[in-house]
Structure 1
Amino acid sequence: MLDMDARLAEQGVTLKRSADALQQADTLAAAVVERLRAAINERGQARLALSGGRSPVPFLQVLARHVLEWERVHVTLVDERWVPEQDPQSNAGLLRRHLASVFERVHWLPLYLGGSPQADAAQASEALTDWLPLDVVVLGMGADGHTASLFPGAAGLMEWLSRDCRHGCVATQAPDGSPRLTMTGRALHSARYRLLAISGEAKLQTLKAAIEAQQPGAWPIAAFVDAPMDIYYCPEDGRPNDVTD
């Protein structure tokens, strides 16, 4: 039986291991900036979709310290809790705080607009039509194998995971019933480069199970583990560097 690295290699994916969360943040940020800089050089602008969640703080802080033509970078989120930016759970608020030194320089596309989850998703989908393909997407993964706000067993999940999904963003719900907004496969599969950041042995085993089973309905992350992607892993328990919950 092939080991995990070999399985990933067959799919054109590299697993990059870091010693700790700070090294992971450094290498992840460097990879993102390299791709953004290349996009700017080739097309005059770059489009970046980031994950929020519990604590992507080290990665965001390192990212903000990089010298880049941030005025040419368009930034949005792969998913968002349907709460205003001032709410402690807001992913937009998280980005604004920890990318503070560059946030006012970028072109920002919020997902939460305050209408309704469905209305905001429709507006985000319309706006994303001018963004695709994305240049860089940074994904995270929950312990249940979800990514963005694409949760196992959700009604409509298989359509949302498809690159042929009609919408770039949809309204969904977390397992606790809280409303979310999430990019779909239409947007996420468009990315010229995807990165997945995970930490801790438990999540590594979840990812391994997802890759072996190839059942995106049970492990949504499985829909996105293919080229062009690199996976950034460190053995710590997920704090402070996880990018999704």
Structure 2
Amino acid sequence: MLFHPMDILIFIAFGLSIWAQFKVKGNFSKWSEVGTSSGLSGAEVARRILDSNGLYHIPIQVVPGQLSDHYDPISKAVRLSENVYYGRSIASISVAAHEVGHAVQDKESYRALVLRHRMFPLVNITSGIAPFLLMGGFFLHQTSLIGLGIILFAAAVAFQVITLPVEFNASTRAKNFMLAEGIIRNHEEKGVNKVLGAAALTYVAAALISVLELLKFVMIFFQGNNEEQED
């Protein structure tokens, strides 16, 4: 089947994903031009929040690229892009505080984060195998292969869905940390919300696409089963 009604929803979700990417870059660029009242850099904000949470041992490292910021739970390090590390803007400190939010989640064994870490090795394998099983099943008209592919693909979808509360919680922590530490004032919350909200939207769009694709495969699977039974 070349076209499925669910494709329309998936196409819309892809459009949302592309729009979200533009929003992330646009908001980061816009709020990179707005300085903070504290005058702190992203690295300084990250260090202050880490220390206030007893995470003195976690280093803050500079990494190449734009918006390549992340927390590495294996090396226990916060890694910030140059613009964020050295930047003294609303955008820079928002991203830095968000990544520190993940470090605090790790310290507190935040359930969704722990589950995501445990799932990662499995999802790394299943996400690579699932497309081949699905394509093979469709090409050979073997619903058993499609079914197995769906099961493996579902693990990857679950991983993306679990990522949502992890990201939203890290953003909430970031804003609360900065307010508590006096790093931002109330009138700066708007910019922080814009930067972090746009980033969160990309995760929502990615999860939505995956869920819709999974539903499409499930519908095709049951349709194939019904056709086999009729034959």
TM-score by length of 1: 0.27
Higher helix share: 2
Higher strand share: 1
